């Protein structure tokens, strides 16, 4: 159970008036029924729906409640649950914006989702949001628009920025979506204080409209408490009356979960009222994003205002001339379609009248039976054919005139953004312009794709990759079909010929060999059991061995008790004991091997033990790796070693590095945390990187020695030079439709073979590439 309480205080000011509550803010403890892994996660949601569609408090409450429900009913890792929830909201907003293309109505989600587990706060930002962490040990600013993107609903691809903060009692957090410039100095100059003093400081330094939430961490039992601002307690703010009526928005409906899922109860932020559903007319999606303030319930009598309300100013990638151009294009397309439809209807009406007059004269019938009414077959024919003709003509006009016009307008904006890079030298400005180029291309290629647009996309992506030191590789699936649903791979290992997969479901190992362009699974006996009187439990880690190892063993595995299992193709496994340390042994968590030394991590005992020997033969008694300088290892998850250098990866993504000393007068020393050097222009290094929460570490030997760190959510492998830990490059898959990896799923495991073949696991399928840089 968490030992921290979180107190939340909202800042909501509109045109100088302090509002009592902030729509879009939700804080919730786990409900009674949750998916596996969500039992101890406290959830915070800070949502702002930008655009030109107003939203009521009730509609904000509906959206945040659905987000919370999606989160608590998603099993798996915490970051995966946060990511899946945000992707669901993005899909809903994107689909709705596509439906309203043509008349200027759009909604863009700006979101911060955070989950508290123990004292560790996992933060995900989507859109241009800012999170300030005012800790007792210093301040940190989480803000990266290049990763968080421009907001949810603009495309099917969800841009997110992941961060972590290990909270202490007394720490403060500030989340906001439209930060006043005065806040930058106010938040950097002073450290943490009380929640009230921070609220007074931020509200007095500026008179701008505010939309933010302040959070303080205090000792407690994991409670989430909403604190009302002092101004709201003294006097409730009067309701705001809109100067002109605007149609209410269509309620956002996030796809429902299974009927068996338990309902999620909102944190009591405000009294909610039922809302009626409206369906706005389809309208286009501009690029600029004026913030949409929530609309209160209508008052019985409107209060006149002395001046009209204006939307807050926001920076936009579109100039007024470009915006006018796109509006004119949309109006011309709509006018052409309307004229065509009216002309078709007039033609249909005139044709019907002529046929009704002419038919009685042409058909042989008695004069007393002649009728001016059109015969039933003709009426049926007209009823079927005329609507079809109308649709065909309107569709033809739209695709012949409207689609090219919309493409040309967005493509022109992309060309202009690309041309502006020629005179720029600042890496940050170059990055923004190339990102703007890709953004406008996304809008243009929703209508059509041309050779010129595809070429411009390649140029823009290549320029961005060069700025960010990204090396693209082409992955191929290793198997004809994904692995079975009962197979959950936690670790992989590879030799020059074989690929080994550790199935965490039962602790056994699968073996595959390359057969043509694919790998095929082979019979391989390597699983828990009793061998020569030694009972081996489920394996927790594996390592591939060269075929020259003693006894011809090709794989070494270890269980939590320190028992070793040696496996070879076509042979029965053999087991061996590892001598346990004489004091304070808690259980093994991971191991690695290099140059005749086996390293075993016992994180719960805050220890790394070393054994000398060869796999397949016997190992010596354990030796404690550290001397006087013992780092904190309770959250360590993985290790890598090269010579005398030991690299230990922690759960929050930071590294501990230790250099073993063979000189008695110079003890073994460690650096915790190790400072990573980020060589990308515009990025800053540190104990962690702004776009890197690493989950696995792997060391590759010459000719390309590197410390490889897996970032699962961005599906990137960060490669650092040994010892200096300077970023060399990032390995990523191809971009867009050329990416063979399953969309939206993280990479959960990696390994390299001795001949530098890279294997990655995503969505139950293994992918590999031999073109590793």
Is residue 354 scored above 80 in pLDDT? Answer: no
Mean pLDDT (whole number) for 69-78: 85
Quote the CA–CA distance of 331 and 321 in Å, as a whole number: 15
Q: CA distances (Å), 180 to each of 14, 126, 151, in order?
A: 13, 19, 19
Average predicted confidence (pLDDT) for the chain:
79
Please give, one letter per residue, the 3-state secondary structure of 486-552. Answer: CCCEEEEEECCCEEEEEECCCCEEEEEEEECCEEEEECCCCCCEEECCEEECCEEEEEECCCCCHHH
524 touches 498 (CB < 8 A): no
150-154, 252-256, 471-475, 652-656: range with lowest mean pLDDT? 252-256
Beta bridge partners, 575, equal: 565
CA 61 – CA 64 distance, rounded (Å): 5
For position 141, what pLDDT does the model report? 84
Q: What is the predicted pLDDT for the residue at 161?
A: 85
Which pair of structure tokens corresponds to residue 9? 């205080």
Parallel, antiparallel or unpaired: strands 55-56 and 107-117: unpaired
The CA distance from 763 to 585, in Å, is: 36
β-strand partners of 211: 12
Q: How far apart are CA 144 and CA 222, in angstroms?
A: 29
Q: How many residues does the chain have?
A: 773
Give strand ranges (E) for 400-495.
Answer: 470-473, 476-477, 489-494
Neighbours of 526 (CB within 10 A): 25
Q: Give the pLDDT score at 591.
A: 94
CA distance linking residue 436 with residue 415, whole number of Å: 10
Q: Could you give the 3-state DSSP secondary structure of residue 471?
A: strand
Cis geometry, peptide bond prior to residue 703 (ω within 30 degrees of 0): yes
Strand (E) or helix (H) holding 313: none
Task: Classify the phi-psi angles of 643: left when phi > 0, otherwise alpha if psi is within -120 to 50, otherwise beta.
Answer: left
Beta bridge partners of 718: 709, 730
Crossing angle of helices 427-444 and 403-419, in 10° steps, is 170
When pLDDT is cut at 50, 70 and 90, the band that residue 522 belongs to is very high
Q: Which residues contact 499 (CB under 8 A, 6 or more apart)?
A: 478, 492, 493, 511, 512, 513, 514, 519, 753, 759, 766
Distance CA 292, CA 289 (A): 9
Which residue is listed with tokens 């081996």?
Answer: 536
Helices (H), 211-289: 230-234
CA angle at residue 656 from 653 to 659, to 5 degrees?
A: 155
Nearest to 315 by CA among 290, 296, 347: 290
Radius of gyration for the alpha carbons in the chain, expressed in angstroms and rounded: 32
Q: How many CB atoms lie within 10 A of CB 297?
A: 10
374 has a pLDDT exceeding 50: yes
Helix locations, 207-319, DSSP H: 230-234
Please determine, for residue 647, whether its predicted confidence score (pLDDT) is greater than 70: yes
Across the range 732-741, mean pLDDT stands at 90
What three-state secondary structure class fits 441?
helix
Q: Could you tell me which of 518, 515, 525 has the C-alpha nearest to residue 482?
A: 518
Q: Supply the DSSP symbol for 378.
A: H
Q: How far apart are CA 552 and CA 617, in angstroms?
A: 11
φ, ψ for residue 360, nearest 5 deg = -60, -25
718 closest CA partner among 692, 742, 741:
692
- Cα–Cα nearest to 709, from 667, 676, 753: 676
- Buried b / exposed e over 501-518, threshold 16 CB at 10 Å, is bbbeeebbbbbbeeeeee
What is the arithmetic mean of pLDDT over 265-272? 37
- Tokens, residue 486: 């009962």
List CB contacts of 338: < 8 A, sequence separation 6 or more. Answer: none
| CB neighbourhood size of 669 (10 A) | 14
Question: How far is it, in rounded angstroms, from Cα 746 to Cα 696?
Answer: 13
Give the residue from 356, 364, 458, 447 showing the smallest Cα distance to 402. 447
* Beta strand residue intervals within 143-270, DSSP E: 161-166, 172-176, 210-219, 224-227
pLDDT score recorded for residue 519: 93
Under 8 Å between Cβ of 177 and 138 = no
pLDDT on residue 168? 85
Q: Is the predicted pLDDT of residue 408 greater than 60, yes or no?
A: yes
- Residue 84: φ, ψ to 5°: -65, -40
- Can you read off the two tokens belonging to residue 459? 């140029």
User: Count H helices, E strands: the chain?
Assistant: 11, 41
Whole-angstrom CA distances from 490 to 253, 319, 541, 548 are 36, 50, 9, 27
Query: CA 157 to CA 189: how far, in whole Å?
Result: 37
Per DSSP, 772 falls in state -
For the ranges 278-287, 333-342, 427-436, the maximum mean pLDDT occurs at 427-436
Statement: residue 258 has pLDDT above 50: no
Six token digits for residue 668: 């073994």
Greater pLDDT, 52 or 204: 204
Buried-exposed string 134-153: b where 16+ CB fall within 10 A, e elsewhere = bbeeebeebbbbbbbbbbbb
**685 pLDDT more than 50:** yes
Q: What six digits make up the tokens of 76? A: 């798996």
Highest mean pLDDT pick, 128-142, 364-378, 511-525:
511-525
The mean pLDDT of 61-75, rounded to a whole number, is 89
Over 50: is that where the pLDDT of 482 sits? Answer: yes
pLDDT over threshold 60, residue 371: no
Q: What percent of the chain has pLDDT over 70?
A: 77
Say how far apart CA 254 and CA 214 lie, in whole Å.
27
**pLDDT in the model for residue 478:** 93
Contact 528, 509 (CB under 8 A): no
Which of 76-85, 190-199, 315-324, 711-720 is least confident? 315-324
> How remote is the C-alpha of 341 from its chain's centroid?
44
Contact 194, 231 (CB under 8 A): no
Collect all residues with Cβ–Cβ distance below 8 Å to 365 and sequence separation of at least 6.
Answer: none
Confidence (pLDDT) at 581: 87
pLDDT at 101: 61
């Amino acid at each position: 159970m968490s030992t921290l309480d979180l107190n939340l205080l909202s800042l909501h000011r509109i045109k100088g008036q302090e509002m009592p509550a902030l729509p879009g803010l939700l804080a919730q403890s786990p409900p009674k029924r949750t998916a596996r892994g969500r039992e101890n996660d406290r959830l915070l949601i800070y949502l702002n729906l930008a655009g030109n569609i107003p939203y009521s408090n009730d509609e904000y409450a509906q959206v945040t409640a659905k987000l919370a429900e999606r989160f608590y009913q998603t099993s798996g890792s915490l970051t995966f649950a946060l990511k899946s929830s945000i992707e669901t909201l993005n899909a809903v907003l994107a689909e709705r914006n596509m439906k309203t293309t043509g008349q200027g109505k759009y909604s863009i989600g700006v979101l911060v989702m955070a989950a508290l587990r123990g004292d560790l706060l996992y933060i995900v930002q989507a859109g241009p949001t800012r999170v300030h962490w005012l800790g007792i040990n210093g301040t940190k600013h989480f803000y990266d628009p290049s990763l968080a993107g421009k907001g949810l609903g603009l495309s099917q691809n969800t841009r997110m920025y992941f961060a972590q903060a290990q909270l202490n009692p007394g720490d403060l957090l500030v989340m906001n979506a439209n930060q006043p410039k005065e806040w930058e100095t106010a938040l950097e100059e002073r450290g943490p204080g009380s929640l009230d003093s921070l609220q007074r400081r931020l509200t007095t330094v500026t008179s701008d409209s505010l939309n933010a939430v302040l959070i303080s961490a205090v000792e407690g039992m994991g409670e989430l408490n909403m604190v009302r601002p002092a101004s709201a307690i003294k006097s409730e703010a009067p309701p705001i009356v809109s100067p002109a009526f605007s149609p209410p928005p269509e309620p956002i409906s996030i796809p429902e979960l299974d009927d068996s899922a338990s309902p999620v109860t909102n944190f009591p932020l405000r009294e909610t009222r039922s809302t009626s559903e409206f369906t706005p007319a389809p309208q286009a999606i501009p690029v600029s994003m004026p913030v949409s303030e929530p609309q209160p319930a209508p008052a019985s009598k409107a209060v006149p205002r002395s001046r009209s309300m204006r939307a807050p100013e926001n920076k936009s990638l579109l100039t007024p001339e470009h915006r006018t151009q796109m509006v004119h294009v949309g109006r011309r397309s709509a006018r052409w379609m309307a004229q065509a439809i009216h002309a078709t209807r007039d033609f249909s009406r005139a044709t019907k009248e002529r046929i009704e007059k002419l038919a009685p004269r042409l058909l042989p019938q008695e004069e007393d039976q002649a009728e001016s009414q059109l015969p039933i077959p003709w009426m049926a024919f007209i009823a079927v054919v005329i609507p079809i003709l109308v649709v065909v003509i309107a569709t033809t006009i739209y695709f012949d005139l409207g689609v090219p016009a919309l493409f040309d307008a967005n493509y022109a904006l992309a060309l202009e953004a690309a041309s502006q890079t020629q005179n720029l030298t600042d890496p940050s400005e170059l990055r923004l312009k190339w990102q703007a180029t890709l953004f406008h291309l996304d809008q243009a290629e929703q209508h059509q794709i041309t050779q010129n647009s595809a070429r411009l996309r390649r140029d823009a992506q290549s320029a961005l990759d060069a700025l960010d030191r990204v090396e693209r590789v082409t992955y191929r699936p290793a198997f004809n079909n994904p692995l079975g649903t009962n197979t959950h791979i936690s670790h992989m290992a590879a030799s020059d010929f074989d690929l080994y997969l550790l199935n965490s479901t039962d602790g056994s190992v699968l073996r595959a060999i390359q057969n043509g362009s694919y790998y095929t699974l082979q019979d391989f006996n390597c699983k828990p059991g009793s061998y020569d009187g030694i009972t081996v439990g489920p394996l927790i880690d594996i390592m591939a061995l060269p075929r020259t190892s003693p006894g011809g063993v090709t794989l070494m595995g270890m269980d939590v008790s320190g028992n070793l299992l040696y496996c070879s193709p076509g042979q029965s496994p053999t087991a061996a004991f590892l001598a346990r340390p004489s004091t304070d042994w808690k259980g093994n968590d991971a191991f690695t091997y290099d140059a005749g030394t086996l390293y075993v991590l016992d994180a719960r005992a805050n220890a790394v033990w070393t054994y000398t020997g060869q796999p397949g033969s016997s190992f010596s008694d354990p030796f404690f790796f550290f001397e006087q300088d013992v780092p904190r290892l309770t959250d360590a998850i993985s290790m890598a070693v090269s010579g005398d250098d030991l690299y230990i990866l922690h759960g929050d993504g930071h590294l501990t590095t230790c250099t073993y000393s063979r000189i008695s007068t110079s003890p073994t020393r460690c650096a915790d945390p190790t400072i990573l050097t980020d060589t990308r222009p515009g990025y800053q290094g540190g104990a962690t990187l702004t776009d890197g929460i690493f989950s696995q570490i792997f060391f590759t030997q010459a000719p390309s020695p590197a410390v490889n760190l897996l970032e699962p959510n961005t599906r990137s492998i960060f490669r650092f030079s040994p010892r200096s830990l300077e970023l060399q490059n990032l390995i990523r898959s191809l971009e867009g439709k050329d990416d063979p990896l399953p969309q939206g799923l993280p990479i959960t495991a990696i390994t390299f073979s001795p001949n530098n073949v890279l294997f990655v696991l995503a969505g139950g399928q293994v992918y590999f590439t031999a073109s590793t840089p």
